[in-house]
Structure 1
Amino acid sequence: MSSVQCPKKTALPREVLKWLQSLDLSFYPKNVRRDFSNGYLVAEICSCYYPQDFPVHSFDKGTSLSAKQRNWSQIQRSLQKQNLHLMKEVIDGTIHCKPGAAELLVQEIYTVLTNRSIKDLQGLESDFTDQEYQELLPTLARSTASQAIKNNLRTTEMMAEPDITTNQRKAEVILLRHLEHKAAERVLNPGRLKVKPNLGHLTAKNPVPHSRGDGCFDSRSSGDDLSKTYASSTRSGAVVSFKEITVRQPVRRSLVNY
């Protein structure tokens, strides 16, 4: 029985891992998402190339949101002096431990400081959500709509941006993405999710044939055929068609004697 594997905590290219091992860092990052979130390790890496602009003693090793914001603000100012820039979305994702953000940040720092390129830049098109992890899980184990919002809208993210309207918009985007993913699953796997076609789908797939002899109608035979058609249609779940019958009443003779 195969078991579902969780995403790797260190999803970095081999050349980036070798580069990190060659640097004289205070500790080697074992959990990229956690170890790079406060920016201290980034400051250590940058101090290897620009020691005057990145004094390690001036950075905080704490993990609080305020410590992270101070460290990253100082890192950005020091990088600007060297005309170097990092994407703000990647920095914010790293601060709030978003999936794939720290991995992309380390690769970006590698290319900026070493002037080397990475053939397959991992996480370039990532939206920093747990969608990739959710796809590895069985259908019943995947997050609900409320859990998806909780997983992808971190508490520190709401603390950093306390505006209620902004956080509502972020939650709406996460909810919309979750619903779109559910709708795509229903289309791709209707049998597994027991999705039954509605009347519109049945009408499009099973059009009602028109017989050539609609003008002539035999009351005895047509009545039996109509009842059979109705019974078979209701049993099979197909569209039930009805034919309008015009009955000619015989002229009644008057009982009054002339």
Structure 2
Amino acid sequence: MSFAKSPKNTGLQREVMKWLQSLELSFHWRNVRRDFSNGYLVAEILSRYYPQDFLVHSYDKGTSLSAKQRNWSQIERSLQKQNLHLMKEIIDGSIHCKPGAAELLVQEVYTILTNRSIRDVEGPESDFTDQEYQELLPTLARSTASKAIKNNLRITEIMAEPDISTNKWKAEVILHRHLEQRAADRVLNPGRFKGKPNLGRLAAKHPEPSSRRGECFASSRDTSSKFCFSSTWSGAAVSFKEIKVHQPVRRSLVNY
């Protein structure tokens, strides 16, 4: 791993990157969000400071959800022996590869083990969503409502917490935040969201003269019939023929 890589691309401060290289880990991480999600590298880092409590060979290198949960559960138990702890929200966000969670996790581990503070670090109150990334995109390239839910509600979250009500609530929170962002975009860019008239609206309207609306006249061939122009049709006149039917009177079959 080259240290010429800027912290902007990795999400880590340069001092944290130098510290990680000094530990001579078993493999070089390339993607913070992916490589630190299962907890194996975190356990290996902690073993450099507490070798008796963090035995690297007892941790799984797998990337399945069950492997991640076992590793992190073991890490939390070992940290408690040293009166150390990591925020549960950061751990869960790292397990599910949420944006910014793994970066914050590594920096928290660095602070705990070295007693050094890092400047300009995003606080633990982050909700670990892609909102910051979406705001950097042009309005046309931003996620739709369904894409926003897919990006911010991972499949591993649903597997870890299969309760339908909980997952429904999470989806509603994401959707509400997305709609709020769309509403803000409409205020900032009203011209882009202005609807365009269709051909029907653009077509010229020629209303029928009022003198012919509801006008009726008799047929020259049949005096019992007459034609009427509808007063509700604004375009071409439509004629309706009125036909009078004379039915014979039926005689009563009852003799008086």
TM-score by length of 1: 0.71
CA contact (8 A) 1:93 1:101 kept: yes
Q: What residue in structure 2 maps to residue 138 of structure 1? A: 138
CA contact (8 A) 2:139 2:185 kept: no
Higher helix proportion: 1
Q: What residue in structure 2 maps to residue 16 of structure 1? A: 16
Q: What residue in structure 1 maps to residue 58 of structure 2? A: 58
Distance 1:181 1:40 in 2: 37
Distance change >3 Å, CA 49–CA 19, structure 1 → 2: same
**More displaced stretch, 131-140 vs 11-20:** 131-140
The Cα shift of 1:193 comes to 2.7
Does residue 121 of the first structure (1) align with residue 104 of the second (2)?
Answer: no
Corresponding residue pairs, total: 190
1:129-171 deviations in Å (ceiling 9; x for gaps) = 1112212222222111111111100000000001111001100
Identity of aligned residues (%): 83
CA contact (8 A) 1:158 1:167 kept: yes
Distance 1:94 1:57 in 2: 21
Distance 1:153 1:123 in 2: 21
1:26-83 deviations in Å (ceiling 9; x for gaps) = 0121100000000000000000000000000000000000000000000000001000
SS in structure 2 of the partner of residue 48 of structure 1: helix
Q: What residue in structure 2 maps to residue 237 of structure 1? A: none
The Cα shift of 1:187 comes to 1.2
Distance 1:118 1:98 in 2: 21
Structure 1 unaligned blocks of 5 or more:
1-6, 197-258
Distance change >3 Å, CA 77–CA 136, structure 1 → 2: same
TM-score by length of 2: 0.71
CA contact (8 A) 2:90 2:124 kept: no
Larger of the two Rg values belongs to structure = 2
- Matched letter for residue 85 of structure 1: H
Q: What residue in structure 2 maps to residue 248 of structure 1? A: none
Root mean square deviation of aligned Cα: 1.7
CA contact (8 A) 1:9 1:33 kept: no
CA contact (8 A) 2:29 2:35 kept: yes
- Matched letter for residue 136 of structure 1: L
**Greater relative contact order (Cα 8 A, min sep 6): structure 1 or 2?**
1
- Matched letter for residue 99 of structure 2: P
Q: What residue in structure 1 maps to residue 94 of structure 2? A: 94
Does residue 25 of the first structure (1) align with residue 29 of the second (2)?
Answer: no
Distance 1:28 1:115 in 2: 24
Does residue 183 of the first structure (1) align with residue 179 of the second (2)?
Answer: no
User: Equivalent residues in 2 for 1:199-218 (5 A)?
Assistant: none
Q: What residue in structure 1 maps to residue 153 of structure 2? A: 153
SS in structure 1 of the partner of residue 24 of structure 2: coil
Distance 2:182 2:8 in 1: 25
Q: What residue in structure 2 maps to residue 214 of structure 1? A: none
Q: What residue in structure 2 maps to residue 253 of structure 1? A: none
Distance 1:30 1:40 in 2: 14
User: Equivalent residues in 2 for 1:98-113 (5 A)?
Assistant: 98-113=98-113
Distance 1:72 1:189 in 2: 45
The Cα shift of 1:125 comes to 4.3
CA contact (8 A) 1:12 1:122 kept: no
CA contact (8 A) 1:39 1:72 kept: yes
Higher strand proportion: 2
**More displaced stretch, 9-18 vs 152-161:** 9-18
Q: What residue in structure 2 maps to residue 81 of structure 1? A: 81
The Cα shift of 1:126 comes to 2.5
Distance 2:9 2:134 in 1: 16
The Cα shift of 1:121 comes to 1.3
